[in-house]
Amino acid sequence: MFTGIITALGRVRAIDPIGDGKDMRLVIETPAAFLADPPVALGASIACSGCCLTAVAFGADWFAVDASAETLAHTKLGTWTVGSRVNLERSLRMGDELGGHMVSGHVDGVGQAVSATPENASTRWVFRVPSDLSRFIAAKGSVAIDGVSLTVNEVQGDTFGVNVIPHTASVTGFGTLKPGDKVNIEIDMLARYVARLSDSLAAMIAESA
pLDDT of residue 204: 74
Q: Is the pLDDT of residue 94 over 80?
A: no
Domains and CATH numbers, the chain: 8-90 (2.40.30.20), 109-195 (2.40.30.20)
With cut-offs at 50, 70 and 90, classify the pLDDT of residue 199: low
**Which residues 6+ apart lie within 8 Å of 186 measured at CB?**
50, 103, 104, 105, 106, 107, 108, 143, 144, 147
Give 207's pLDDT tier (boundaries 50, 70, 90).
confident
**Structure pTM?**
0.90
* DSSP bridge pairs for 113: 127
